[in-house]
Amino acid sequence: MTFYIARRMLYAIPIAFGVSLVCFSLVYLAPGDPLQTVMPPDATAETIAIVKHAYGFDKPIPIQYLMWLGHVLTGDLGMSISTRRPVIREVIDALSNTALLATFAVPLAFSLGYTMGAIAGCLPGRWLDRLVTGTAVIGVSLPNYWLGIVLVVVFAVELAALPATGMGPTGSANFHILDWSCAKYLVLPVMTLAMIPIGILSRTTRAAVAEVRNQDFVLTLRAKGLSEWAVIRHVLKNSLPQVMAVMGLQFGYLLGGSILVETVFTWPGSGFLLSKAIINRDVPVLQGTILSLSLIFVATNLIVDLLQSMVDPRIRRT
Amino acid sequence: MTDIAALDQPLETFAPQAAPATRVRGYWRSVLYRLRHDPVTLVFAAIVLCIVLAAVFAPLLAPFDPYKESVVSRLKPFGWKEHWLGTDELGRDMLSRLIYGGRVSLLMGVMPVLIATIVGGLLGVIGGFAGGRVNTVIMRAMDVFYAFPSVLLAVAIAGAMGGGIGNGMLALTLVFIPPMCRVAETATTQVRALDYIEAARATGAGTITIIRYHVLGNVLGPVCIYASSLVSVSILLASGLSFLGLGVRPPTPDWGLMLSTLRQSIYVVPFVCAVPGAAIFVTSISFNLVSDGLRAAMDVRL
């Protein structure tokens, strides 16, 4: 087990380096000089040269990458062009707001999706099974930003029951979960974020459970005289690794998909920060946010792999 | 019962007989047969066809000019003066814009998938067939892109390059190459180990011939099915990019862009604002169900 953990963690390191390389090159994908946005248009060639030297832009690109990586490893992601604040502060503030959404959306989506899928897989062909199959197709085809707009139209415009956008008058600093005047701002974004993972997860769970139920050992369990509940317990446990893999992926899509949902609800999270950075052409913030989100995704995948290997020791041997 | 009874029969009964009169269908005929008996796929294939035809013949179908603005008829509800689906914030006819919008949305749904299928599929076949170090290099490079959630990668690339239809399509292509490559690689690796590849090599077939005749035939099925399932993802991502201001630029009609600009008017004409999203949803679900139907009919496991 220790060997497997060590090997899997070692494997994550080159991936993280690759991610940092892609994020670094984002600056060079941007058209024009990376300094163009910072410099005043009437700057002399001399000033530009000085600034270039100060930022290290006159060095060869591999050296620039190593310098940048050194800064990143010490937690320095540069300065935001639009707000002049350190990017790391902006990212941490935004991530804590996204985490707030995720703490509600992830358990909701995973518990609902898993339960629906498991019941449908155990009772194939019933009405619930059809419902799950239908929900799954809708879930994968639904543009979540549109779902957000529809929910706003229904609950905020027509029924006037819930606030449409934002985090409420207190802002993110004094946001209290237990206070309904704050918590009501969470309802619509959380529902929107959870919808797609519910569909995908219920479909995967249904397929995994149905597949395990067809295996020979289930017949043996029945022949042994185990009760239906005990059989279901075995089936669920065996279908878990497959479901967990999809849960890990969905967690990542929640992170990535939050960019659209947070834009719809103007929720000041990492996705909203990203879309603001795009509008302002604030490349350091864009780079920093994407780097942080994808490193979280890499870490999630690592954790999911380790959890999978705990549930199913066979994975360790491959 | 019949088996035991048969044992008592004289042996002559077992003399060679004419084959039973069941028609044996070829692969493609059986695929067609299964598709013909799958009403859900047929219905949604018809919807896809309608959407494509509407986009192609947009100038003939659209009741108004999609760019024609009008100050007096801004933000009108459904059914206002011949404007069946109302008008947008500049007084342009929603139905016409919706029909024209299908052109860009479909283009951005299909083109990136097509290019990614060719590039990613080729990389996957090369990696899978060559094996060893070549495979490791290709697949580990792809793993890096797997470390980004797909929406995030598309937004990152399009955001850094600055939007527009071309950059949006390039970003989506880069998002789809790694999964496409993985599907092709898995299929190729499975085929490569089979005996008939060995036999073909023993009879003197070259690498190119083996890939063309023996590998591609087995890889194209899963690759095409996977590509068809990506079309709906691509449409969703493309309109998401336009929604963020990273895809199509105004005034070109595009469903994602329409949704984004109409969002400001949600308190004036709430239902008109939801229409472009419904178009995205219907297109995406239709492509999804057709792809599922094809996969079932072609009996492909991904």
- The distance of A166 to chain B (nearest Cα, Å) reads 14
Question: How far does Cα A213 stand from its chain's mean position?
Answer: 31
Percentage of chain B modeled with pLDDT above 70: 83
The residue count for chain A: 318
Q: What pLDDT score does A54 carry?
A: 67
Q: What pLDDT score does B117 carry?
A: 92
A301 contacts on B by Cβ (under 8 Å): 147
On the question of pLDDT at B77 being above 50, the answer is yes
What's the CATH code of the domain at B291? 1.10.3720.10
**How far, CA to CA in Å, does B56 sit from each of B52, B60, B204, B238, B245?**
6, 9, 49, 19, 25
| Position B24 confidence tier, pLDDT thresholds 50, 70, 90 | low
Nearest CB to B280: which of A26, A29, A143? A143
| Position B118 confidence tier, pLDDT thresholds 50, 70, 90 | very high
Domain count, chain A: 1
Best CA proximity match to B45, nearest among B301, B286, B297: B286
| Position B114 confidence tier, pLDDT thresholds 50, 70, 90 | very high
Percentage of chain A modeled with pLDDT above 90: 0
The reply to whether residue A158 touches residue B270, judged by beta carbons under 8 angstroms, is yes
Suggest the residue from B108, B144, B167 to mutate for an interface test with chain A (most A CBs closer than 10 A).
B144
Q: In one letter, which amino acid is A299?
A: A
User: Which residue's entry shows tokens 């990136």?
Assistant: B112
- The distance of B161 to chain A (nearest Cα, Å) reads 5
Which of these ranges, A140-144, A234-238, B232-236, B270-274, has the smallest mean pLDDT? B270-274
Nearest CB to A142: which of B157, B243, B281? B281
Q: What pLDDT score does B51 carry?
A: 87
Average pLDDT over residues B280-300: 85
Q: What are phi and psi of A176, to 5 degrees?
A: -115, 120
Percentage of chain A modeled with pLDDT above 70: 86
A145/A260 Cα distance (integer angstroms): 6
- The distance of A260 to chain B (nearest Cα, Å) reads 7
Nearest CB to A150: which of B243, B245, B274? B274
B293 within domain boundaries: yes
pLDDT tens digits, A16-30: 888 888 888 887 776
pLDDT tens digits, B26-70: 777 888 888 888 888 888 888 889 888 888 887 777 677 777 776
If contacts are CB pairs under 8 Å, which of residues 198-217 in chain B contact chain A? none
Statement: the pTM of the whole predicted model exceeds 0.90: no
Q: What pLDDT score does B111 carry?
A: 92
Nearest CB to A146: which of B141, B148, B259? B259
On the question of pLDDT at B1 being above 50, the answer is no
Contact between A136 and A199 (Cβ < 8 Å)? yes
- The distance of B285 to chain A (nearest Cα, Å) reads 5
On the question of pLDDT at B216 being above 70, the answer is yes
Domain residues for B190?
A: 87-298
Cα three-residue angle B117-A302-B154, rounded to 5 degrees: 35
Q: What pLDDT score does B116 carry?
A: 92
B265 within domain boundaries: yes
What's the CATH code of the domain at A310? 1.10.3720.10
pLDDT tens digits, A28-62: 776 666 566 566 666 677 777 777 776 666 777 78
* ipTM confidence: 0.81
Average pLDDT over residues A199-214: 85
Q: Does B291 reach chain A within 8 Å, measured CB to CB?
A: no
B78 within domain boundaries: no
B10's CB contacts (< 8 A; 6+ apart) are none
A294 contacts on B by Cβ (under 8 Å): 147-149, 152
B245 contacts on A by Cβ (under 8 Å): 278-279
Cα three-residue angle A56-A60-A64, rounded to 5 degrees: 50
B135's CB contacts (< 8 A; 6+ apart) are B127, B128, B185, B189
Contact between B239 and B280 (Cβ < 8 Å)? yes
pLDDT tens digits, B146-198: 878 888 888 888 888 877 888 888 889 998 999 899 888 888 888 888 888 88
Domain count, chain B: 1
On the question of pLDDT at B115 being above 90, the answer is yes
Number of A/B CB contacts below 8 angstroms equals 141
A45's CB contacts (< 8 A; 6+ apart) are none
The reply to whether residue A259 touches residue B151, judged by beta carbons under 8 angstroms, is yes
The reply to whether residue B147 touches residue A298, judged by beta carbons under 8 angstroms, is yes
Q: What pLDDT score does B155 carry?
A: 85
Compare all CA atoms of chain A with the CA of B147 and give the residue at the minimum distance: A298
Q: What pLDDT score does A296 carry?
A: 86
A275 contacts on B by Cβ (under 8 Å): 244
A115 vs A128: which has the higher pLDDT = A115
Domain residues for A118?
A: 2-317
On the question of pLDDT at A212 being above 50, the answer is yes
pLDDT tens digits, A236-281: 888 888 888 888 888 877 877 778 888 888 888 888 888 888 877 7
A30-A31-A36-A41 Cα dihedral, nearest 10 degrees? -150
Q: Does A263 reach chain B within 8 Å, measured CB to CB?
A: yes
Q: Does B259 reach chain A within 8 Å, measured CB to CB?
A: yes
If contacts are CB pairs under 8 Å, which of residues 157-186 in chain B contact chain A? 157, 159-162
Contact between B246 and B163 (Cβ < 8 Å)? yes
B133's CB contacts (< 8 A; 6+ apart) are none
Residue B236 corresponds to which tokens in the numbers above?
A: 């969703």
Cα three-residue angle B228-B234-B236, rounded to 5 degrees: 120
Compare all CA atoms of chain B with the CA of A156 and give the residue at the minimum distance: B267
Contact between B261 and B89 (Cβ < 8 Å)? yes
- The distance of A231 to chain B (nearest Cα, Å) reads 27
Suggest the residue from B51, B140, B167, B236 to mutate for an interface test with chain A (most A CBs closer than 10 A).
B236
Q: Does B78 reach chain A within 8 Å, measured CB to CB?
A: no
The reply to whether residue B263 touches residue A283, judged by beta carbons under 8 angstroms, is no
Q: Is B80 helix (H, G, I), strand (E, B) or coil?
A: strand
A66/A84 Cα distance (integer angstroms): 24
| Position B113 confidence tier, pLDDT thresholds 50, 70, 90 | very high
Nearest CB to A15: which of B147, B245, B246? B147
Percentage of chain B modeled with pLDDT above 90: 5
Best CA proximity match to A250, nearest among A210, A193, A315: A193
B290/B301 Cα distance (integer angstroms): 16
Q: What pLDDT score does B119 carry?
A: 93
What is the 3-state composition of chain B as percent helix, strand, coil, each rounded to the nearest 5? 75, 0, 25
Which of these ranges, A50-59, B113-122, B127-136, B172-181, has the smallest mean pLDDT? A50-59
Contact between A222 and A177 (Cβ < 8 Å)? no
Which of these ranges, A149-158, A197-206, A207-216, B23-32, has the smallest mean pLDDT? B23-32
Paired strand residues for B93: B87
Q: What pLDDT score does B2 carry?
A: 44
B49 within domain boundaries: no
The reply to whether residue B161 touches residue A31, judged by beta carbons under 8 angstroms, is yes
B196/B208 Cα distance (integer angstroms): 15
**How far, CA to CA in Å, does A11 sit from each of A5, A178, A302, B144?**
10, 41, 9, 11
B131-B135-B136-B140 Cα dihedral, nearest 10 degrees? -150
Mean pLDDT over the full length of chain A: 80
Contact between B288 and B229 (Cβ < 8 Å)? yes
| Position A95 confidence tier, pLDDT thresholds 50, 70, 90 | confident
On the question of pLDDT at B17 being above 60, the answer is no
- The distance of B121 to chain A (nearest Cα, Å) reads 22
Q: Does A152 reach chain B within 8 Å, measured CB to CB?
A: yes
If contacts are CB pairs under 8 Å, which of residues 156-185 in chain A contact chain B? 157-158, 164
Q: In one letter, which amino acid is B214?
A: H
